Amino acid sequence: MLASTDGTEATTAEVASTDDASTDVTSTDVTSTEVTSAEVIGAEPPSRHRSRSRAPGSTQAALVWTVVGLLALIVLAGLFYLGQRLVASPVAAPAPTQSATPTATPTPTPTPTPTPEITAAQPAGVNEWNTLFGGECLEPYESPWAEDFTVFDCAAAHTAQLVYRGNFGGDATTAFPGEAALAAQINLLCTAPGILDLNAAGAYPNLQMQGSYPISEEQWTDEPRYYYCFASRTAAEPLTASIMGAGPTV
């Protein structure tokens, strides 16, 4: 055993050493307590205010909208680029072409169709006055100035007969003598010998002769210049045979 002085010191040192060790143990216990407290803090239940994980549907919708946004940006960028190209290089308008003015084709002046030459008596039926040839029997008959005549069978009862068609003659330089001068001639021309078949005409008393002729310069100019001789009975009694002669002999 050490001396009392030394012994005191030794005892004190041991006590101090013992106290230090005790203190260290206590510190270790405290540290262990802190760790345990930290573990407890980390184990506490999650707060209701923390953001929850998103549902799968919401994630897909977000992806769709993201894709749509990207496509819209691409389209807008393409339109912008196209607009810049169009502005930078405008398309030249085609040069107007001068259309040729159509040349008017002159309309040919129609040539009047000449009236065909009448070479024989017209058949039964309605015929224009200037198409009669001579020898046609007529039914009905009212005037030598009619525009149309109905040709009838001469063997049947009829009212009149065109017994002769003559021509005043002359040429294009022959002047129109006037209606009165022609009227004065027609009586002589239509009663000339040979106009009627006297044997056939003798069976019909009270025969009369009427004539028609050009009454204007226009008709006179339109050659040939025909005149027409019609035989009928004054009382409009019928004829039943042809009374036409062979033609004027003079």
Number of domains in the chain: 1
CA separation for the pair 19, 7 (Å, rounded): 18
Residue 200 falls inside a structural domain: yes
Residue 244 falls inside a structural domain: no
> What is the residue range of 205's domain?
125-167+190-212+225-233
The answer, as to whether pTM is greater than 0.85, is no
- Quickly tell me which residue has 């803090």 as its tokens: 41
Residue 107 falls inside a structural domain: no
CA separation for the pair 149, 159 (Å, rounded): 12
Residue 149 falls inside a structural domain: yes
- Residue pLDDT, tens place only, 119-151: 899 999 999 999 999 999 999 999 999 999 999
Q: What does the pLDDT read at residue 95?
A: 61
Convert 39-50 to b/e letters by CB count within 10 Å (16 or more is b). Answer: eeeeeeeeeeee
**Is the predicted pLDDT of residue 217 greater than 80, yes or no?**
yes
- Residue pLDDT, tens place only, 149-183: 999 999 999 999 999 999 999 888 899 999 999 99
Q: What is the CA radius of gyration of the chain?
A: 72
